[in-house]
Structure 1
Amino acid sequence: MKTLTLVIGAVYGVLSVILGAFGAHAFKKILSPEKLESFETGVRYQMYAAFFLLFVGYILKFETKSENWISWLMILGALLFSFSIYLLAFQDYWGTNLKFLGPITPIGGMLMIVSWVMLIFYFVKAKL
């Protein structure tokens, strides 16, 4: 689980940089300012998740279920949160109705929050 967490953290990081660059340049031409702002929010939170995963991948031993859940919740949360935002940002450009993804974004955000809270409890329990 440690290696998976570190690899996904690195993948999320590189994708954030790539998508951020596209957002700053190419997507400015095709997305409205409001949609571009949403897209950039997805990129920003994906990068936060990347840093989080690299951090926990380095410090956790992944010997307990709760340590594994800290990682899984952030991986899934960032995927649901950021990628639903990316798709929603492009729905007008693609001419599709992706509004059904709207409820997915806050679910992803909630998973990310739970992951952070679990990390807090981990630190409190470890008495670092």
Structure 2
Amino acid sequence: MLGALAALNGLLAVIVGAFGAHAMTDAQAKAWVATGALYGLGHAAAALTVMARAPTAAWAMSAGAIVFSGTLYLMALGLPRWLGAVTPIGGVLMIAGWALLIWHFLRA
């Protein structure tokens, strides 16, 4: 399940990122998509890399990327901007994933 979630982050980053680059004209929407794709793809790769050794960190990274990138994608597609209040929750989860990874390596 964790691998599938991380791979979903990568898939969405590529699909939505390409859509934003080629089909969107609104500058703010393009920026949201670009940011979401950058963080989504980066955290997908990180989670897939560490999921066997540090699954808790990978879960936090994956969940965080879904929330962070997902809310940016949804706002770019025209959903309400109040979703921007949810975006930082994803950021905190991604940060927690990196902190958990540091903890994992310090304990090893």
Alpha-carbon displacement from aligned partner over 1:56-112 (angstroms, at most 9, x marks no partner): 12x41xxxxxx4432221222111100111111222xxxx5x132121101110110
Please list the CA deviations of residues 12-52 of structure 1 after superposition, one character each: whole Å capped at 9, or x if unmatched: 21221111211111123xxx112211111001110011101
Percent identical pairs in the alignment equals 39
Between structure 1 and structure 2, the one with the greater Rg is 1
Aligned equivalent of 1:55: 49
SS in 2 for 1:50: helix
| TM-score, with length taken from structure 2 | 0.88
| Aligned residue in 2 for 1:16 | 13
Retained in 2: the 8 A contact 1:74–1:115? yes
2:10 and 2:40 in contact (8 A); partners too = yes
CA distance in 1, matches of 2:55, 2:50: 10
Q: Does the aligned pair in 2 maintain the 1:8–1:53 contact within 8 Å?
A: no
What is the aligned partner in structure 2 of residue 63 from structure 1?
none
Q: Tell me which of 64, 71, 80 is aligned to 2:58.
A: 71
Tell me, in whole angstroms, the C-alpha distance in 2 between the residues paired with 1:121 and 1:20: 32
Indicate the SS of the match to 1:102.
helix
The answer to whether the 8 A contact 2:17-2:34 is kept is yes
Name 1:6's counterpart in structure 2. Answer: 3
2:104 equivalent to 1:118: no
| Aligned residue number for residue 67 of structure 2 | 80
Q: 1:99 to 1:21 in 2, by over 3 A?
A: closer
Unaligned runs of 5+ in 2: none
Give the count of matched residue pairs: 108
Structure 1: which 5+ runs fail to align? Answer: 61-66
Is contact 1:78-1:109 (8 Å) kept? Answer: yes
Give the root-mean-square deviation of aligned CA atoms. 1.6
